[in-house]
């Protein structure tokens, strides 16, 4: 091959090598850029995954804490209710003992119960319903109670013993025609005042 041809071939090869080197350099640069972008994207994705995981963990933690507080409050309220119920049961037992006795305290309470119910009705011809054991305790006092009710209501009042009832104590008072009735038994009074009594018992026990 002549020297001229060799120069031409050498020049072509040199140009081709230069172009190849440039292409390779560009490819390497692009590959580096792609890798860098990929690493950055992977880092961002990783951080996002970690951040999402932290948010979910925090939400779960708050949920667990909230549920624990609710359960604790519920258990506390249930415990209080149990103590209050025990207090009412104890009170009922004590009232049952008092109502089964012939104490002056119970007799006075029984008179007041009958008077209160009779006054609430407005006086008139009334029947007093008692447990059998209480009839003899109050029978002789009905006339005096009637006079007190007359004074309080301005209505002529008579009180007669009616049928026996099953009760811890106290009385039911009603008109003889049965149109009006006031249940002033111990059970009925406790039930009526239970809400207020429950609040008072809770205050005494837990404040």
Q: May I ask the CATH architecture of the domain 102-206?
A: 2-Layer Sandwich (3.30)
pLDDT in tens, 110-135: 999 999 999 999 999 999 999 999 99
Does the pTM surpass 0.85? The reply is no
Position 171 scores a pLDDT of: 94
pLDDT in tens, 133-147: 999 999 999 999 999
Domain assignments of the chain as residue spans, ordered by start: 1-99, 102-206
Q: Which residue has the tokens 């580096």?
A: 32
């Amino acid at each position: 091959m002549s020297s001229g041809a060799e120069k031409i071939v050498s020049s072509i090869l040199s140009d081709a090598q230069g172009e190849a080197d440039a292409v390779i350099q560009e490819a390497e640069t692009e590959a580096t850029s792609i890798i860098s972008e990929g690493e950055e994207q992977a880092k961002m994705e990783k951080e996002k995954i970690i951040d999402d995981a932290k948010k979910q963990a925090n939400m779960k933690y708050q949920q667990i804490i909230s549920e624990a507080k609710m359960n604790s409050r519920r258990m506390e309220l249930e415990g209080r209710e149990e103590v209050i119920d025990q207090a009412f049961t104890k009170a009922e037992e004590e009232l049952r003992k008092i109502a089964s006795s012939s104490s002056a305290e119970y007799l006075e309470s029984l008179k007041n119960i009958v008077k209160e119910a009779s006054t609430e009705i407005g006086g008139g011809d009334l029947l007093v319903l008692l447990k059998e054991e209480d009839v003899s305790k109050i029978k002789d006092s009905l006339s005096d109670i009637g006079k007190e009710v007359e004074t309080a209501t301005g209505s002529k009042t008579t009180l007669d013993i009616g049928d026996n009832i099953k009760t811890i104590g106290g009385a039911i008072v009603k008109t003889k025609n049965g149109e009006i009735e006031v249940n002033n038994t111990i059970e009925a009074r406790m039930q009526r005042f239970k809400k207020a009594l429950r609040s008072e018992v809770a205050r005494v026990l837990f404040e």
